[in-house]
A and B are shown apart, each in its own frame.
Chain A
Amino acid sequence: MGGISRRNFLKLSLGSLVLSSISIDLTPVKSYAATELKIRNAKESTSVCPYCSVGCSLIVYAKGGKVVQVEGDPDSPINQGALCPKGASLLQMANNPYRVMEPLYRAPGATEWKKVSWEWALSEIAKRVKATRDKYFILKDEKGRVVNRVEAIAHVGSAALDNEECYLLQKLMRALGLVYIEHQARI
């Protein structure tokens, strides 16, 4: 196996595993040549696991706009290619049949969700934000000091967002005057 990197070795093993399960008698080397690996010609990009805070680096393989494989990144000094069961199952997070794929709305008293457009949902949310903010905005406190806050709207989340998103989100919420801004770090 001289000259074969650990990752190539894994690719080889995987190829032989697939073949052996359908009982074709080929040597591992031949099987590598004869079968199409699912990561062949896939676009490789690196990512970081979205679960715990160790910050394990990942390689995400995509083909035809779809994630086909997720592996630990052997270059990372932190995880050196290793992943735990959660990180190793990220393929199923990316291609997940249970995900909601379009905006939903539930009207007062309704018993079911209704599919709606983004345009409608965001407009309706913006209307409600404005109406609630305008109605409950507190310009000054009882001592006459400027406070410019709204207590009738609250926000929680999220440690699952990227830093840049967290930044935009708190900027938006603070611009609206919210003081009830919290997230996972509190609990």
Chain B
Amino acid sequence: MTNHWVDLKNSNVIIVMGGNPAENHPISMKWILEAKKERGAKLLVIDPKFSRTASKADLYVPIRPGTDIAFLGGLIKYIIDNELYFKDYVINYTDLSYLVDPNFKGPEDLDGYFSGYDPKTRKYNKATWKYQLDEKGVPKKDPTLKDPNCVFQLLKKHYSRYTIDMVVEITGAPKEKVLEAYKIIASTGKPNKTATICYAMGWTQHTVGVQNIRSMSIIQLLLGNIGMAGGGVNALRGESNVQGSTDIALLFHILPGYLPTPKASWVDLKTYIEVNTPKTAEPKSLNWWKNRPKYIVSLLKAFYGDYATKENDFCYSYLPKLDDNRTYSWYDIFDAMYKGKIKGFFAWGQNPACSSANANKVRKALANLDWLVCVNLWDNETSSFWKGPGMDPKKIKTEVFFLPCASSVEKQGSITNSGRLAQWRYKAVEPPGKCMPDAEIMNELYHKIKEFYQKQGGVFPDPILKLNWNYGDKHVDIEKVAKEINGYYTKDVASHPIDKKAYKKGQQVASFVFLMDDGSTACGNWLYSGAFTEAGNMMKRRGKEDPTGLGLYSNWAWCWPVNRRILYNRASVDPMGNPWDPKRPVIKWDAQNKKWVGDVPDGPQPPLAMKGGVLPFIMKPLGVGTIFGAGLADGPFPTYYEPVESPFKNLLYPKVYFNPVARTYDSPDDKFVVGTDPKYPYVGTTYRVTEHWQTGVMTRHTPWLLELEPQIFAEIDPELAKEKGIKNGDKVIITSPRGEIWAIAIVTERISPLIVQGKKCHVIGIPWHYGWKFPKNGGDSANLLTPNVVDPNTFIQETKCFVVNIRKA
């Protein structure tokens, strides 16, 4: 989230699209309903299903799954055509006036492709996706927005055919409702009005997932809603600590704090720093990533301690390097495992046999392993895969270790919520039986492996033997780990370049501003620097003061970065530092005392128009919000492509059909159909219910919750039910190109058919919380049906729209 949960109360318009907070983030509705009640906010829900959130909406717009970019592209056109954008904001704080290379061509010129497409590799060469630069290297601009090569004119051209009628034809949404939604959202393009967007997996789980989100980011920039109280782009993340586990980088492509994982071609630290430290010619840009060298060196110091010295490149060579031409993402893992290339596998607090799309492939892949380690509270479909449906245990050679861990109330530590707030959990009781906290398991495992390398030697043991791992004698002192994440001085510093003060070895750094690139600081994650300082563990704080009334609660726990509650908040003020909306001032420049008041600003520098002032989007090298997104794999502007599996035509770009750079896999178990297949005439979609969580391992084993939602079901509309002779409560079989499952039919108007391209679009909705192992007769995972075709930027699968068929069992 750019903003945070309580901030939802500050919105004038709350857009819920690609999410269902009433169902999946129930307590957030407290703040959405407060906005409605206290400020008359409008709640808009755009969703294929009349969801629990929709039941509280002022306006509900049904749309066909996977057509979000058509809907949002139409909105961009509406905002441009009616000049409803926030002009001062877009001119000062975005790249809308920047000129783009005249050789850049878009889908309107090239039949659905951007310039640089290579059909052989199914990738883009992005050479033309760039701004025109002046002699100083700064982008050329046209503040009148008239130059045909400026971002504004290109955007206008790009969405010129996304007319209301086209939007209706693609999405199936009723025309008057589309128009009403556009009117309400675009009404916030004023300084004193804000809209917020709440999205979740309904946007990410598509082959155009990133572009769904970018569409809305563009809209929020055009309307001047980013940085504002009640604004922003807000991902409603799905797990209690998925924000933290992402920040701390249990991911192949990043190290903690969003530092790119080294690649083979970045042969030494110097090269790593050169490639990954952006430079800018824009004098007003803070270009925060210029600090990257401090963060990577401090991370290496945290990893390798005293062994990491300037002379040995701070042990940079110890870090594993990725092959430049490959990815190592979730679906790459199971593809490699399926092909027998992976021998050992840890599934630590995860159940991929149910959570992964095309779960049949995963279940087969697990049988190719030599050994599997599962760490969990409950035995599940992954740990017991060898006795699952269709498996003959006697033929499966995989050794499986199940390690029982502690639950969240049986250990202490911090977790980070969707609003980037890191809160501390205390241990209430000891783990039952022989269960062990995860950190203890990691610690024991590390020491065992180290012992073997010490005694027996082995291949390149240095990164293991020299790892800086001292967290207590017998048990892990979790606060010691938290302190390392925050960062500390590794040697005495006589006069720190930042404040000229002296610091002692072992002292905690106050914030990432104090990190250095010479080895005198160690820091496990620069973003969390400030969480555990000399003043103590800030994540434990319980202050309830709210002086601004905006719900920032700056003394409650601790929020990254540097306790800033609303990101990009310098965009909430005009170039003189006056809040665009004086009634909801996130920050404000106090001219007399020459400092900001309110939230922690994005940098202490004065307002933009003053001497030494800086642009608001400090993480971007140019300092502005980028509407022209040249960094993406699939184009600088979001473009409407059909889902990979869809029973409909792509009316806008018939020659391309689905995202031309979407990733697919090619094993015999990677089946999908492109275009119309009479065997699968309906659209399938998956979702969650309040009473269960993810693959259901936790909630299926919780008797109260299981009683509420005991069995897999499928929601189908009354017309389709009638056609198929299915009654409410009947058992049905749902099939897709990848598998079949049974479910209990719920015949409901919540999921009514829409008219798309002259025919009925029937949608079948299935929750994915179930698994064969428990309870008996609960049903199996909906992911046996879903396709592992993935977004080219994030490699997230398209589980929100795929083709299915249904029959009475």
A residues near B, CB below 8 A? 43, 45-57, 60-62, 65-67, 70, 75-80, 82-87, 89-90, 92-94, 96, 98-111, 113, 118, 121-130, 132-134, 136-137, 139, 141, 143, 145-187
Contact = CB atoms under 8 A, between A and B. Distances in A.
Interface in B781-809: 794-797
Contact of A96 (B317, B322, B702): B702
Nearest to A177: B320
Contact of A54 (B245, B344, B386, B417): B417
A162 B406 CA distance: 11
B415 interface: yes
B127 to A, nearest CB: 24
B467 A159 contact: no
Residue with the greatest number of chain A CB neighbours at <10 A, chosen from B27, B421, B476: B27
Question: Which one of B409, B411, B694 has the highest number of Cβ atoms from chain A below 10 Å of its Cβ?
Answer: B409
A180 B407 contact: no
Contacts of A152: 341-344
B343 A53 contact: no
Interface stretch (B213-221, B374-382, B651-659): B374-382
Interface string B762-784: 00000000000010000000000
Contacts of B256: 167, 170
Given A86-B699, A125-B445, A165-B437, 5 more contacts: A54-B28, A56-B27, A106-B399, A111-B394, A153-B344
A16 B311 CA distance: 72
A103 B404 contact: yes
A165 B438 contact: yes
Contact of A161 (B265, B349, B464): B349
Contacts of B524: 167, 171
A67 B154 CA distance: 61
B756 interface: no
Given A75-B542, A109-B396, A148-B321, A84 B27 contact: yes
B633 interface: no
B241 A163 contact: yes
B14 to A, nearest CB: 15
Given A93-B698, A148-B318, A103 B401 contact: yes
Range of interface residues on chain B?
35 or more
A62 B395 CA distance: 46
Contacts of B443: 168
Contacts of A89: 702, 704-705
A118 B434 contact: yes
B251 A136 contact: no
Interface in B348-382: 348-350, 352, 355-357, 370-371, 373, 375-379
B427 interface: yes
Contacts of B639: none
A180 B240 CA distance: 23
B452 A127 contact: yes
Given A151-B342, A156-B352, A53 B242 contact: yes
B349 A157 contact: yes
Interface string B500-513: 00000000000000
A132 B250 contact: no
Contacts of B357: 187
Contacts of B796: 186-187
A184 B242 contact: yes
B401 A121 contact: yes
B282 interface: no
Contact of A125 (B303, B379, B401, B546): B401
A169 B460 CA distance: 20
B400 A106 contact: yes
B475 interface: no
Interface in B425-439: 425-430, 432-439
18 contacts: A50-B240, A51-B239, A54-B417, A54-B418, A77-B553, A96-B377, A99-B432, A137-B459, A154-B345, A158-B250, A158-B349, A159-B246, A163-B244, A163-B245, A163-B482, A163-B485, A168-B481, A170-B250
A93 B396 contact: no
B702 A118 contact: no
A85 B708 CA distance: 10
Nearest to B385: A106
| Interface-centre pick from B5, B344, B416, B542 (highest chain A CB count, 10 A) | B344
B321 A67 contact: no
Given A52-B238, A158-B245, A45 B426 contact: yes
A183 to B, nearest CB: 4
Contacts of A103: 401-404, 434
